[in-house]
């Protein structure tokens, strides 16, 4: 039987955001937008979903006079991401059994 995949992370854009944040201490909105190729509106919606799930935190501030939104992965987000990766490995290894 296959493990259940977390529906929050089973979205291309949310998974991309979590992958970036898992490898970095933090990332700002502009960086995430550039790396994912997402529109501002779509990225905002997906960040809200990850925040609501408790997987990331969002801090709004300023860098000089420019507004800056910074995202950080939470411990719950790290655990969920690790579990998701392990579940995918199980799916992949099941295909190699003959």
Q: What is the mean pLDDT of the chain?
A: 93
Longest dimension (CA), the chain: 60
- The domains found in the chain, sorted by start residue, are 26-85 (1.10.10.10)
Can you give the pLDDT at residue 97?
55
- Would you call 90 helix, strand, or coil by DSSP? helix
Q: For residue 82, is pLDDT > 80?
A: yes
Can you give the pLDDT at residue 91?
86
Using one digit for the tens of pLDDT, what is the confidence trace for 33-74? 999 999 999 999 999 999 999 999 999 999 889 889 999 999
pLDDT tier, 98 (very low <50, low <70, confident <90, very high otherwise)? low
User: Which residues lie across from 67 on neighbouring strands?
Assistant: 62
87-97 in b/e form (b: 16+ CB < 10 A) is beeeeeeeeee
Q: For residue 2, is pLDDT > 90?
A: no
Query: With a threshold of 0.95, does the pTM exceed it?
Result: no
């Amino acid at each position: 039987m296959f493990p259940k995949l977390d529906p929050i992370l089973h979205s291309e854009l949310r998974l991309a955001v979590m992958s970036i944040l898992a490898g970095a201490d933090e990332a700002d909105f502009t960086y995430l937008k550039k790396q994912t190729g997402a529109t501002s509106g779509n990225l905002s919606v997906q960040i809200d979903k990850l925040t609501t799930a408790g997987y990331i935190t969002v801090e709004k501030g300023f860098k000089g006079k420019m507004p800056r939104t910074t995202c950080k992965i939470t411990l719950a987000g790290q655990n969920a991401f690790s579990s998701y990766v392990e579940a995918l490995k199980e799916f992949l290894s099941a295909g190699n059994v003959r």
